[in-house]
Amino acid sequence: MQPLSLTLGFHGAARTVTGSCLEIAAGNRRILVDCGLFQGSRTLEALNHEPLPFDVAAIEAVILTHAHIDHSGLLPRLAAQGWQGPIWCTPQTADLLGPMLADSGRIHEYEAERRNRRRDRAGEAPFVPIYTEADAVAAAGLARAVSLEDWFEAAPGLRARLWNAGHILGAASVEIEAAGVRLLCSGDLGPDNKAFLPDPATARGFDAVVCEATYGGTVRERVSLYERRRQLADEINEAMARGGNLVIPAFALERTQELLLDIVMLSKAGAIGNAQLFVDSPLANKVTEVYRRHLDTLEDTGGGDIFAHPAIHTVGTPAESMRLNTVSGAIIMAASGMCEAGRIRHHLGHNLPRRESTILFAGFQAEGSLGRVILDGASRVRMSGRDVTVRAQVRHIDSYSAHADQAELLDWIAAAGPIAGSLFLDHGEAGAIETLAAAARGRGLAPDVITPELGDSYAVQAGQAARRLKRGRQQLRTAVGRDWQNDYADLASGLKQRLGAIRDDRARQRAIARMRRILDEFARRPQRG
């Protein structure tokens, strides 16, 4: 008789931090844990347009760890193909899913329309959005709320319960029992002593654990809530002293609300003068209303509605957003947090060239994202087909991370132990994953530590190390990280300036001719698989 086993298919967030999607099969029963959008380089984002790497009709349920788009953002593709759920999640996640997915659908429709209007796409096939707002609304309607630590049957023969992950409002880890196997999936884990939320919790003793590794290579200095606010006050006061705006790219979900909490507390304490704050994100404003509905579950708010402070000004229409071009000495907070879409790009275009302005990053910037390019010190960036010079002060504050660092991840893994079989590390860039894997092996946290790649699948049996069944396609592995389009944007953004540094026009013409010959030579070479 064949021993019982689960099959795990890593369709996303393997050696990258976006696109979370784990397929779990027990016999002919199949579910997903998360179904997220890839974000970052154009090559990585192109995976969102490919056929889904699993049989949609065979998926009986989705267990959603939380509402961030890199975990939930492809659910509308399921709905667009007629899939009808259920999507199991916490009540808070169910409330957040509506505004989060609807906004994502609008962005995809807008981006498709914008790309199709660009002159450099003349003659190309129309760009089609991944899904529409209507698809997103349909997907959000499939959410089925379940309380933390209550067992439920996700699909026949697969029972599960959710544990507080301490990451954002409603975030959960997922415990699954099926085919005689106990499995734990971390989702995204928050750090200890995070605002709003209690520390992560878990059950103990599993055959296999899948743990995120976003900050697996980082050990942060422990910073209290008081110290974090003091750091933010210093950044705000220094930015205001320069006379320009302080622009904060902020994720609409959780990061914006945490920053609002701290800015209100600093304002009440008189620590930041009369700084005015504009929240230019319709999505963030809708999410904040969800937080208001769950105020009784939030910690550190002082018992009142901290989101009703007079220093906070919400920005609604695009016209109101454009009027912020006329202000100086203000704090402007806008999404997206990695600067890949949304109104933040407008504010970056206006403020990056201004020496008196400050750009403050308070969140993780994925490799290949515009935010990462700016944070890494680019002197010019390419945005919406044009070059933008970076003259503004670029600052980074790391004490707002919603992710556990290496020490906290290791402690959580240890708390979930003993692990009888394999520890899988995903949702991290390659360096972070390998560093965390070495540390986990060094502490003896599992007999077997696996770092899967996109498209890999494994068989998991009770009490045994997992066995790889299939490797992912080569092109999936090469999609992770910076791509040729990042390198092209770097080259194009400084090309005119570099040509101008050549001594005369004839030398410039020779340089251009040589570049053309090199490109033609590579185009004629046989393509390698």
Q: In this predicted model, what pLDDT tens digit does every residue of 141-166 receive, in sequence order? A: 999 999 999 999 999 999 999 999 99
- The answer to whether 436 and 404 have CB atoms below 8 angstroms apart is no
Determine the pLDDT at residue 121.
61
Amino acid in the structure at residue 500: G
Specify whether 23 is located in the same domain as 92: yes
- The answer to whether 408 and 194 have CB atoms below 8 angstroms apart is no
Residue 109 in any domain: the answer is yes
Residue 100 in any domain: the answer is yes
Q: How far apart are CA 37 and CA 18, in angstroms?
A: 7
Q: How far apart are CA 85 and CA 485, in angstroms?
A: 36
pTM score, two decimals? 0.85
Specify whether 314 is located in the same domain as 343: yes
Tell me the CATH number at 315. Answer: 3.40.50.10890
Query: Out of 128-137, 209-218, 485-494, which region has the weakest mean confidence (pLDDT)?
Result: 485-494
The parent domain of residue 358 ranges over 225-396
Residue 67 in any domain: the answer is yes
Instruction: Tell me which of 396, 412, 445 is where a domain ends.
Output: 396
Would you place residue 492 in the very low, low, confident or very high pLDDT band (cuts 50, 70, 90)?
Answer: low
What number is the average pLDDT over the span 363-392?
A: 89
Q: Residue 474: pLDDT above 80?
A: no
Tell me what percent of the residues of the chain surpass a pLDDT of 70: 93
Determine the pLDDT at residue 176.
98
Would you place residue 483 in the very low, low, confident or very high pLDDT band (cuts 50, 70, 90)?
Answer: low
- Sign (positive or negative) of CA dihedral 518, 367, 394, 255: positive
Specify whether 373 is located in the same domain as 328: yes
Specify whether 372 is located in the same domain as 409: no
Neighbours of 350 (CB within 10 A): 17
Would you place residue 245 in the very low, low, confident or very high pLDDT band (cuts 50, 70, 90)?
Answer: very high
For tokens 């996303």, what's the residue? 12
Tell me what percent of the residues of the chain surpass a pLDDT of 90: 72
The two structure tokens encoding residue 394: 């670029």
Q: Residue 189: pLDDT above 90?
A: yes
Specify whether 247 is located in the same domain as 388: yes
For tokens 């066995």, what's the residue? 467
- The answer to whether 17 and 428 have CB atoms below 8 angstroms apart is yes
Determine the pLDDT at residue 301.
86
Query: Out of 95-99, 131-135, 242-246, 363-367, which region has the weakest mean confidence (pLDDT)?
Result: 363-367
What number is the average pLDDT over the span 416-444?
A: 97
Q: Residue 36: pLDDT above 80?
A: yes
- Sign (positive or negative) of CA dihedral 276, 280, 282, 285: negative
Residue 525 in any domain: the answer is no
What number is the average pLDDT over the span 240-253?
A: 95
Mean confidence (pLDDT) of the chain? 91
Specify whether 433 is located in the same domain as 295: no
Say what angle helices 282-293 and 255-268 make with each other, to 10 degrees.
80
What number is the average pLDDT over the span 248-272?
A: 93
Distances (CA, A) of 386 to 294, 349, 398: 42, 10, 30
CA geometry: angle 183, 187, 188, nearest 5 deg: 145
Determine the pLDDT at residue 119.
58
Residue 529 in any domain: the answer is no
168, 170, 173, 176 alpha-carbon torsion, rounded to 10°: -160
Query: Which range, 36-40, 121-125, 205-209, 341-345, is most confident?
Result: 205-209
Would you place residue 481 in the very low, low, confident or very high pLDDT band (cuts 50, 70, 90)?
Answer: low
Specify whether 432 is located in the same domain as 375: no
Cβ neighbours of residue 506 closer than 8 Å, sequence gap 6 or more? none
DSSP letter at 526 equals: P
Q: Residue 228: pLDDT above 60?
A: yes
- The answer to whether 39 and 340 have CB atoms below 8 angstroms apart is yes
Tell me the backbone φ, ψ of residue 174, rounded to 5 degrees. Answer: -120, 120
Q: How far apart are CA 177 and CA 483, in angstroms?
A: 39
Q: Could you tell me which of 319, 348, 318, 317 has the C-alpha nearest to residue 332? A: 348
Specify whether 368 is located in the same domain as 422: no
Peptide bond into 336 cis (omega under 30): yes
Residue 79 in any domain: the answer is yes
Which of the pair, 419 or 510, is modelled with greater confidence? Answer: 419
Separation of first and last alpha carbons in the chain:
41
Determine the pLDDT at residue 521.
79
- The answer to whether 389 and 497 have CB atoms below 8 angstroms apart is no
What number is the average pLDDT over the span 390-404?
A: 93
Instruction: Tell me which of 370, 396, 422 is where a domain ends.
Output: 396
Determine the pLDDT at residue 529.
42
Instruction: Find how far residue 85's CA is from the centre of its chain.
Output: 23
Structure confidence by residue, pLDDT tens digits, 104-133: 999 899 888 888 887 566 677 888 899 999
Query: Out of 122-126, 258-262, 491-495, which region has the weakest mean confidence (pLDDT)?
Result: 491-495
Specify whether 504 is located in the same domain as 421: no
Would you place residue 482 in the very low, low, confident or very high pLDDT band (cuts 50, 70, 90)?
Answer: low
What number is the average pLDDT over the span 439-451?
A: 98
Specify whether 96 is located in the same domain as 244: no
Residue 110 in any domain: the answer is yes
The two structure tokens encoding residue 75: 């659910």
Specify whether 408 is located in the same domain as 364: no
Determine the pLDDT at residue 383.
86
Domain count, the chain: 3
Determine the pLDDT at residue 518.
82
Instruction: Tell me which of 478, 493, 508 is where a domain ends.
Output: 478
Specify whether 149 is located in the same domain as 242: no
- 224 burial (CB, 10 Å; 0-12 / 13-18 / 19+) is exposed
Determine the pLDDT at residue 122.
65
Tell me the CATH number at 177. Answer: 3.60.15.10
- 398 burial (CB, 10 Å; 0-12 / 13-18 / 19+) is middle
Residue 524 in any domain: the answer is no
Query: Out of 37-51, 179-193, 313-327, 389-403, which region has the weakest mean confidence (pLDDT)?
Result: 37-51
